[in-house]
Amino acid sequence: MPDGIRTVEELAGEHRPDRVAELRELFPEAFADGAVDLARLRVLLGDAVPTLGADEPQERYGLSWPGKREAVRLAQRPSTGTLDPLHHESAGWAGTRNAVVEGENLEVLKLLQKPYYGSVKLIYLDPPYNTGHDFIYEDDFAEPTAAYLRRSGQVDGQGFRTSANRETSGRFHSDWLSMMYPRLVLARSLLAEDGALIVSIDDGELASLRHLVDEIFGSENFVATLIHQRAKGGGNARHVVRGHDYALVVAKSLRSLPPLRRDKVVQGRVEEIDGVRYLVDDDVIRKTFGKYEPGVERRCLYEELVEYKGEAKKREVDEWIARGELFLLPWGGGKHAVAKRTPVREATSKLYSIVKVLSEQGRKDLERLGLGGAFDYPKPVDFVQQLVRAATSPTGGDLVLDFFAGSGTTAEAVLRQNADDGGDRRFLLVQLPEESGRPGFPTLAAVTRERVRRAGRLLRSETESEAAGPEARPEAGPGAGLEAEAGTGPAGGTASTDTGFRAFRLSASHFREWSPEVSTLLGEDLEVFVDNVEASATDEQIVHEILLKAGVRLDTSLDVLPLAGEVVVLAEGGAVAVSAARRITPEFIEALLGLDPAPRQIFLLDSAFGEDDSLKLNARLRFAARRGETDPDRDHALRTV
């Protein structure tokens, strides 16, 4: 590309680590003529590389299958797509931090790498189980985005047609592994250091999935295999009645992962203060300082602390009481037990490896929303909610990602957990637009959005009814509490629960790809790229693509500012400014320079400068001059694409 111009593909790829450069920095002696010399590298690594005979093949423990090499390459290939906003399919766009994306999940995961790198707290997946009837995503290794758009029906109006992975296929397990591998590789890079991946699976691919996550995440980061008890028993099984599936739990870093928690079964003394229920623990002394002295069978009371635990321990307890962390509970005879109050909703214990939630509840969850039969095997909300409860915190805006979104159970689980504990968790769903076969909903992605929309409305209805009293509660049954028109409804709900979402759709980039061949660098072929923006692209689509590939998240608040006859979109509190102006004037540059606070980065269309290279160069210098001499991004204050 001409000097100073950066394509959106290059912009999106800036975050990707250069592994070759990292290797060169560690082992410069292993490079010859700009390429890695594997023989030299082997010598430098010494004992870390096993010594083999001349004709001896190297044997390694690991998982291998036909197509693995292509799957590895596919994970590394950048996406040339973008995500277009769908305001008419959203619920409360301006006030929500949730998102639902329609599109092929591999391409979407690639587009999410820069804005969401290392920031997802929990990834929950319920992928195809590879039963012989499941649909397997058919990845095109040569041109994934274009192939997806052809198959997704954005041209002919038909839904995405996947093909069943039949057991008669010679690549039955290989196809499933090739589908999962690149998606899990990309998923790992999105996880926070204290994040976790939880994948539901059955016997068919359990062993393969375990090998796969061990390879990608490291076996040292495996946490547990949960048993999901989903059926009561019975049936016509020939040998064994299967009543459970599994959920593999893997950490990004096991050392950083906090304990997984579940709601504690409340037993013992409970008291209510100002409408809040507290669990009272009156055995704090034993739990804090250990067992009593021999011969003391009852709990140690406050008045006996000095006798049994000493002056230092009593002073420590007195400090806790003074801070309000402990209190004295009357125990009879003028004595007191040292006790602690814990809000019932905060009382937790460690997650148990067996989670019992029947699958039929998932169907009932959809029926209650008036969407019965939309999905064959929807996960129960309660099952996923327990996982969300275990792996996320109510504070800090934890993000939950599900890129096999299906019926949207994960979104409802997040909404309900937030309502239960006042949390501020967010969700990001990705769903392929497969044909739904359901009237009114051309694709399963449309059903997913509608489920999330209705779940939010039902939650708001329930919350309002509880506040109004039992007489106002909606009757149970399909669609109860869902009287609002389908497709509408603001974010909000309770004072603290965001029940809205922003909708997006995967599409081809709105910028023509720069891929010059020697034979085409002439005449009109080159002139096409003087203006590299597709003629059909709207200003909003252009702005959103630039923001996405600059690393701005989908839930970021945007401010639209009229400026010198043009429009500027400000993101991240004004730190990033983007304009799709098709003609840049000196007056517009002056107006941009006058923004206060000054944006750290401004993005403009290169073609909008026309042939006025002096205006562009002068603008670059003036924007750079506002940054300190030592600022590493000084030369990127103004960027053109």
Query: In this structure, are residues 301 and 335 in contact, taking their beta carbons and an 8 Å threshold?
Result: yes
Q: Which residue has the higher pLDDT, 191 or 5?
A: 191
Q: What is d(CA 126, CA 136) in angstroms, rounded to the nearest whole number?
A: 13
Mean pLDDT of 566-590: 96
Query: In this structure, are residues 381 and 365 in contact, taking their beta carbons and an 8 Å threshold?
Result: yes
Query: In this structure, are residues 491 and 92 in contact, taking their beta carbons and an 8 Å threshold?
Result: yes
Q: What is d(CA 610, CA 276) in angstroms, rounded to the nearest whole number?
A: 65
Judge whether residue 437 has pLDDT over 70: yes
Is the peptide bond preceding residue 115 cis, with omega within 30 degrees of 0? no
Task: Identify the H or E element spanning 558.
Answer: strand 558-563
Mean pLDDT of 327-348: 84
CB contact burial 84-112 (16+ within 10 A = b; e otherwise): bbbeebbbbbeebbbbbbbbbbbbbbbbb
Helix then strand count (H, E) for the chain reads: 19, 27
Residue 5 lies in a domain: no
Q: DSSP secondary-structure letter at 160? A: B
Mean pLDDT of 123-130: 88
Instruction: Give the position of tokens 């039902």.
Output: 458
Judge whether residue 95 has pLDDT over 60: yes
**Domain end residue (candidates: 289, 320, 346):** 346
99 forms beta bridges with 428, 502
Q: What is d(CA 156, CA 161) in angstroms, rounded to the nearest whole number?
A: 13
Residue 472 lies in a domain: yes
Q: Which domain holds residue 403?
A: 81-259+356-505
pLDDT value at residue 579:
97
For residue range 159-200, what is the model confidence (pLDDT) as tens digits?
Answer: 454 555 555 444 668 888 999 999 999 999 999 999 999 999
31 forms beta bridges with 36
Share of the chain above pLDDT 70, in %: 77
Does 119 share its domain with 234?
yes
Q: What is d(CA 622, CA 594) in angstroms, rounded to the nearest whole number?
A: 12
pTM score of the predicted model: 0.79
Does 562 share its domain with 472?
no
Does 93 share its domain with 210?
yes
Judge whether residue 473 has pLDDT over 50: no
Mean pLDDT of 594-605: 94
Does 559 share its domain with 500?
no
**Domain end residue (candidates: 346, 366, 395):** 346
Low-confidence winner among 296-305, 468-477, 495-504, 584-593 (lowest mean pLDDT) = 468-477
**Local confidence band at 552 (pLDDT 50, 70, 90 cut-offs):** very high
497 token code pair: 């629960």
Q: What is d(CA 423, CA 392) in angstroms, rounded to the nearest whole number?
A: 10
Does 445 share its domain with 361?
yes
Q: What is d(CA 313, CA 387) in angstroms, rounded to the nearest whole number?
A: 39
pLDDT value at residue 292:
56
Instruction: Give the position of tokens 């906090």.
Output: 258
pLDDT value at residue 193:
98
**Local confidence band at 623 (pLDDT 50, 70, 90 cut-offs):** very high
Q: For residue 583, how far is the Cα from the chain centroid?
A: 38
Q: Write phi, then psi, for 44 (nearest 5 degrees).
A: -65, -35
CATH number at residue 440: 3.40.50.150
Q: What is d(CA 35, CA 31) in angstroms, rounded to the nearest whole number?
A: 5
Residue 439 lies in a domain: yes
Q: For residue 15, how far is the Cα from the chain centroid?
A: 18
Query: In this structure, are residues 405 and 449 in contact, taking their beta carbons and an 8 Å threshold?
Result: no
- C-alpha distances (whole Å) from 492 to each of 381, 489, 499 are 20, 9, 5
Residue 287 lies in a domain: yes
For residue range 361-403, what is the model confidence (pLDDT) as tens digits?
Answer: 999 999 999 998 878 789 999 999 999 999 999 999 999 999 9
Does 153 share its domain with 245?
yes
Residue 64 lies in a domain: yes
pLDDT value at residue 15:
61
Q: For residue 463, how far is the Cα from the chain centroid?
A: 27
CB contact burial 577-588 (16+ within 10 A = b; e otherwise): bbbbbeebbeeb
Query: In this structure, are residues 493 and 91 in contact, taking their beta carbons and an 8 Å threshold?
Result: no
Residue 460 lies in a domain: yes
Does 182 share its domain with 277?
no
Does 234 share its domain with 87?
yes
Closest CA to 380 of 484, 276, 229: 229
Q: What is d(CA 616, CA 638) in angstroms, rounded to the nearest whole number?
A: 9
Mean pLDDT of 4-11: 63
Share of the chain above pLDDT 90, in %: 50
Does 222 share its domain with 270?
no
Residue 512 lies in a domain: no
295 token code pair: 């011969």
Q: DSSP H helical segments within 469-497, as ranges?
A: none
Does 94 share its domain with 144?
yes
Closest CA to 454 of 393, 381, 505: 381
pLDDT value at residue 523:
47
Mean pLDDT of 63-89: 92
pLDDT value at residue 49:
64
pLDDT value at residue 458:
93
Residue 164 lies in a domain: yes
For residue range 413-432, what is the model confidence (pLDDT) as tens digits?
Answer: 999 999 988 999 999 999 99
- C-alpha distances (whole Å) from 147 to each of 14, 77, 139 are 25, 14, 8
> Domain total for the chain?
4
**Domain end residue (candidates: 462, 480, 505):** 505
Specify the length of the chain in residues.
Answer: 641
Does 531 share its domain with 622?
yes
Amino acid at 135: F
Does 283 share its domain with 373?
no
pLDDT value at residue 483:
43
